[in-house]
Amino acid sequence: MSLAGSPTVRYPYLLRGVSIDRIDQVWSSDITYICLARGFVYLVAIIDWFSRSVLAWELSTTLDTCFCLDTLDRALQATRPEIFNTDQGVQ
C-alpha cells in the first residue's frame, strides 16, 4: 500500500536484458542527499548509461520538482535519449 492508501503500482523493469551499445540510447536520473553541518543539500544527476557521462546536474537546498525539471531541460537541449530510466523512489 502507498502512503495515500491506494495500492502501489509495480511496473515491470523494461531494460532487463537490453544491450546498451550506443550513446543516447538510455539515460537515467537519480537524486541523493549530501549531509552538511547545517542540514542537507540534494543532488540530481542525468547520466548516459553507455558513456557513463554526467549530462547535467544540480544542487538544491529543497527537495522540490523544479530543480529536477530544470536539470532535465538542460540535458535535453543537446540531444534526446531513446529511453529515460528512473527508479521508483519516493521523490
Which pLDDT belongs to residue 3? 57
Q: How far are the Cα atoms of 9, 29, 84 from residue 12, in angstroms, in the given order?
A: 10, 18, 15
Which of 45, 47, 23, 25 is CA-nearest to residue 34? Answer: 45
DSSP assignment of 22-65: STTSEEEEEEEEEEETTEEEEEEEEEETTT--EEEEEEESS--H
Instruction: Evaluate if residue 38 carries a pLDDT over 80.
Output: yes
Mean pLDDT confidence for 38-50: 95
Q: Could you report how far apart the first and last alpha carbons of the chain are, in Å?
A: 16
Mean pLDDT confidence for 13-30: 93
Confidence of residue 87 (pLDDT cuts 50, 70, 90): confident
Per-residue buried b or exposed e for 14-38, using 16+ beta carbons within 10 Å of the residue's own CB: eeeeeeeeeebebbbbebeeeeeee
